[in-house]
């Protein structure tokens, strides 16, 4: 008996070990999701991480320009993202909301140690040792503005800000280590007279064009030098150290292969190197993948052939050549975009058509139900997507739910109106022939309503294809990816490389559904339409 029990115990232990080994192997093979914020340096650092992992045989999924600090931290906590580049000062003030003694804030090593231990204790996240450079916030003005108002420090700005207009990124306006914190350190007078929320790259164009007088930036921005801006001194030492580092989620932090690969970048990038890399992306228009690849090669962290990434070709090539060079990537993004729109449209049709039929039979509920669906159309697409993130995280699922909600109203409204407006004479004739209500619905009213229903489906399809471009803001992919990246880098051609194919895709989808509409229309209506065209 004892031998049998011992044998059974050994068998259970071996099965447990095998299961644990398989789970470990599965975790080791799972792709690492590398994300970034929507600005040049974050794109470059994320590419450095991704290519370094790939060079060591670790599969990677890229989520470039995923969103603000809050979105990325939430994605890291939920496991939707494994690693992204972050800054210790941001971790301290914007994420942890911790306050430290001034002596501690003055020591970058102590700030790093604090955020690393706090993130481990709260969420199981890990900060790898810093990459070797700091990128603190910078407040910049044009040289003529600095001369006119005698601006050299942030205290000078607080004295004159009531006469100035600012263009700040939304993140900077709300963050405790941004404008809100500056107001506490320098007084409320540091808030300029007017503040316009602007995307990172667009604010520099607005400043150069005279639309604003003050912008926020980062000390390693390549665009600061490009526009010859004056950076105001933080004379009260408000900003903490902002050392760049890889921030890993719980799952990635437990993978030794990921940690050892990314740790190779620690202390390898100084300020001059990072500023040069940023300039290549933000000023010279090079692709972040190509810039990261060449940097890794120069650092000796990858072989030359591994670092052979495609370049943007932003030199003198035509827009047609630009698109042709990216045809494979654009085709992949278009298929992803089409899949998102098709799934959302199909799900909406399956729900909205029965709903429209039910409302036709329940007249009292029709107006409030359709009104509620109509209200959804008034919510901006990006706001609806952002609302989905706390509920469903990032990626495909929240994007599909948001697109599905947008597609419901046109289809439900078209179904309701089409069935209600079916030819009364035909319906009366069917009733006189002894058809039951169900037979009249399926054999007479629905066929007659088909053109109106399909018109609603076509409208929903165009709306869905257009709104799907915004899905890239929450990591769902599609043709919105080059739009998001282009906006972040002020690259018009990259924006158009996503916007134009999306517009063409919407027209193609509408044309295909128009053919379906002709097929499902009753024969006498098709004949009538052909006669009208003649």
* Cα–Cα distance list, 247 to 49, 141, 262, 278 (Å): 11, 32, 10, 20
**Do the Cβ atoms of 264 and 48 come closer than 8 Å?**
no
Confidence (pTM)? 0.76
Q: How far apart (Å, rounded) are the C-alpha atoms in residues 137 and 117?
A: 24
Contacts of 474 (CB under 8 A, 6+ apart): 66, 67, 71, 385, 386, 388, 389, 394, 395, 398, 399
Q: How far apart (Å, rounded) are the C-alpha atoms in residues 293 and 26?
A: 28
pLDDT recorded at residue 412: 93
- The domains found in the chain, sorted by start residue, are 26-134+242-311 (3.40.190.10), 137-231 (3.40.190.120), 327-533 (1.10.3720.10)
Question: Which among 513, 414, 404 is positioned nearest to 467, based on CA atoms?
Answer: 404
**Do the Cβ atoms of 516 and 348 come closer than 8 Å?**
no
Note down pLDDT in tens along the chain; length 534 residues: 445 544 444 444 444 444 444 444 445 578 999 999 988 899 999 999 999 999 999 999 999 888 888 889 989 998 989 999 999 999 998 899 888 888 888 899 999 999 999 999 999 999 999 999 999 989 999 999 999 999 999 999 999 999 999 999 888 888 888 898 899 899 999 999 899 998 877 888 899 899 999 999 888 988 888 888 999 999 998 888 999 999 999 999 999 999 999 999 999 999 989 999 999 998 888 889 999 999 999 999 987 654 444 444 455 578 888 888 888 989 999 999 999 999 999 999 999 999 988 887 887 888 899 999 998 888 888 888 878 877 888 888 999 999 999 999 999 999 888 877 765 656 556 556 667 666 666 666 667 777 888 999 999 999 999 999 988 888 888 999 999 888 877 788 889 999 999 999 999 999 999 988 887 766 655 545 554 444
What single-letter DSSP state applies at residue 134? Answer: B
pLDDT recorded at residue 21: 42
**The 3-state secondary structure of 266-292, one letter per residue:** CCCCCHHHHHHHHHHHHCCCCCHHHHH
Contacts of 147 (CB under 8 A, 6+ apart): none
Question: Which among 27, 245, 227 is positioned nearest to 132, based on CA atoms?
Answer: 245
pLDDT recorded at residue 308: 44
**Do the Cβ atoms of 88 and 240 come closer than 8 Å?**
yes
pLDDT recorded at residue 11: 45
Q: How far apart (Å, rounded) are the C-alpha atoms in residues 163 and 91?
A: 33
Geometric angle at alpha carbon 415, from 411 and 420, rounded to 5°: 150
Q: How far apart (Å, rounded) are the C-alpha atoms in residues 139 and 530?
A: 66
- Where does 317-382 show beta strands of DSSP type E? none
> Any bridge partners for residue 291, and if so which?
none
Q: How far apart (Å, rounded) are the C-alpha atoms in residues 480 and 66?
A: 11
**Do the Cβ atoms of 277 and 244 come closer than 8 Å?**
no
First to last CA, the chain: 94
**The 3-state secondary structure of 422-475, one letter per residue:** CCHHHHHHHHHCCCCHHHHHHHHHHHHHHHHHHHHHHHHHHHHHHHHHHHHHHC
Q: How far apart (Å, rounded) are the C-alpha atoms in residues 240 and 87?
A: 10
DSSP H or E segment with residue 198: none
User: 104-122: b or e for each residue (b if 16 or more CB lie within 10 Å)?
Assistant: ebeebeebbebbbebbeee
> Any bridge partners for residue 1, and if so which?
none
């Amino acid at each position: 008996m004892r031998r049998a029990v011992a044998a059974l115990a050994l068998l259970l232990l071996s099965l447990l070990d095998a299961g644990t080994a398989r789970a470990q192997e599965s975790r080791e093979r799972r792709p690492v999701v590398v994300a970034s914020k929507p600005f040049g340096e974050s794109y470059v650092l994320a590419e450095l991480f991704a290519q370094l992992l790939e060079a060591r045989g670790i599969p990677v999924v890229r989520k470039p320009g995923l969103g603000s600090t809050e979105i990325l931290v939430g994605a890291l906590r939920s496991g939707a993202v494994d690693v992204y580049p972050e800054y210790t000062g941001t971790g301290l003030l914007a994420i942890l909301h911790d306050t430290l003694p001034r002596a501690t804030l003055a020591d970058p090593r102590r700030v790093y140690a604090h955020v690393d231990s706090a993130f481990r204790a709260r969420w199981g996240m890990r900060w790898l040792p810093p990459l070797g450079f700091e990128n603190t916030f910078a407040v910049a003005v044009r040289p003529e503005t600095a001369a006119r108002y005698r601006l050299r420090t942030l205290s000078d700005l607080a004295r004159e800000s009531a006469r100035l207009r600012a263009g700040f990124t939304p993140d900077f306006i709300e963050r405790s280590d941004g404008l809100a914190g500056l107001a506490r350190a320098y007084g409320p007078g540091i808030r300029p007279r007017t503040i316009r929320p602007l995307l990172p790259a667009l604010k520099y164009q607005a400043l150069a064009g005279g639309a604003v007088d003050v912008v926020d930036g980062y000390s390693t921005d390549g665009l600061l030098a490009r526009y010859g801006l004056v950076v105001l001194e933080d004379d009260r030492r408000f900003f903490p150290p902002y050392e760049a580092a890889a921030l890993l989620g719980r799952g990635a932090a437990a993978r030794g292969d990921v940690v050892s690969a990314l740790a190779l970048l620690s202390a390898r990038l100084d300020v001059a190197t990072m500023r040069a890399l940023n300039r290549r992306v933000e000023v010279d228009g090079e692709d972040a993948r190509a810039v990261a690849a060449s940097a890794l090669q120069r650092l000796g962290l990858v072989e030359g052939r591994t670092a052979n990434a495609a370049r943007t070709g932003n030199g003198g090539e035509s827009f047609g050549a630009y698109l042709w060079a990216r045809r494979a990537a654009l085709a992949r993004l278009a298929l992803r975009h089409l899949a998102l729109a098709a799934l959302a449209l199909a799900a909406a049709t399956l729900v909205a058509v029965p709903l429209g039929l039910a409302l036709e039979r329940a007249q009292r509920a029709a107006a409030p139900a359709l009104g509620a669906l109509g209200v959804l159309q008034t919510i901006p697409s990006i706001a609806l997507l952002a609302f989905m993130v706390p509920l469903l995280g990032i990626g495909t699922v929240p994007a599909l739910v948001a697109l599905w909600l947008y597609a419901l109203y046109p289809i439900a409204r078209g179904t309701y109106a089409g069935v209600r407006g079916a030819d009364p004479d035909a319906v009366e004739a069917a009733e006189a022939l002894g058809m039951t209500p169900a037979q009249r619905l399926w054999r007479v009213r629905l066929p007659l309503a088909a053109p109106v229903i399909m018109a609603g489906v076509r409208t929903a399809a165009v709306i869905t294809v257009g709104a799907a471009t915004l899905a890239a803001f929450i990591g769902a992919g599609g043709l919105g990816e080059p739009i998001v990246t282009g906006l972040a880098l002020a690259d018009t051609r990259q924006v158009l490389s996503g916007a134009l194919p999306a517009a063409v895709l919407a027209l193609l989808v509408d044309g295909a559904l128009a053919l379906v509409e002709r097929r499902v229309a009753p024969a006498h209506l098709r004949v009538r339409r052909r006669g009208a065209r003649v």
